[in-house]
Structure formats: C-alpha cells, structure tokens
Amino acid sequence: MKFMTLSIWPVDKTVEVSAASDKVWAKQPKERREGATTYVLMCVPSFNIPPNSFVSVSIGEGDSIEEMAANIYPIGLAGADIQIIPLLEVPVGGSVKAEKKYRG
C-alpha cells in the first residue's frame, strides 16, 4: 500500500531531524528505498503550519500504517511532526472504473 508522509519540523531542529531521517532510511530494505524521494516544499502549503518550519512530502510503500509509524518514530522523536496519509491509486482516465470497484 502507498502512503504519503507529511513531515513538519521547526527550522532549529533541522540537524536532528535530518540525522534521524538518514538513520531511519538507511535501515530500510533495499526494495523499499529504490525510487524513494523526499520533497522539501519551497513554500508553506495552506495548512496550519507554524512559522519558521520546514515541510517535506514523501511517498513510500509499506505493508501497513503501523509498519510505517514504527519506521519513522525516531524522526518524530527528533522533533518532526509526522502525518501518514494512506493513498488510493486512481489511474488517469480511470476514475469511473475505480469508483465502481470501490463502491462494491
């Protein structure tokens, strides 16, 4: 299953969060790391983000949200606010088919 991870941290915690993030992702199985990219947003999205904060978004795969949460727990301890959002893949031009599939 795919998940989007939204990470928010104060600028002054960047060193700690970066170190924890590198340590966490270095321990992941190789198949989970391939193609994994984190995007640091160059502007703050229109959420309730505290001033002087960085925001990053990454999309990854995991067997469950519990597995994802356990993997990124050290990043939260370093000072980041982590939100894990399950994603539903809908192919472009396939919305009607996906709607019928999930409607049951």
- Tell me the pTM: 0.69
For the chain, which domains are there? 2-103 (3.30.70.120)
Are the C-beta atoms of residues 84 and 5 closer than 8 Å to each other? yes
Band (60; pLDDT cuts 50, 70, 90): confident
Band (36; pLDDT cuts 50, 70, 90): low
Residue 77 has pLDDT above 90, yes or no: yes
Give the mean pLDDT of the chain.
Answer: 82
- What is the distance between the alpha carbons of residues 55 and 40, in angstroms, rounded to a whole number? 6
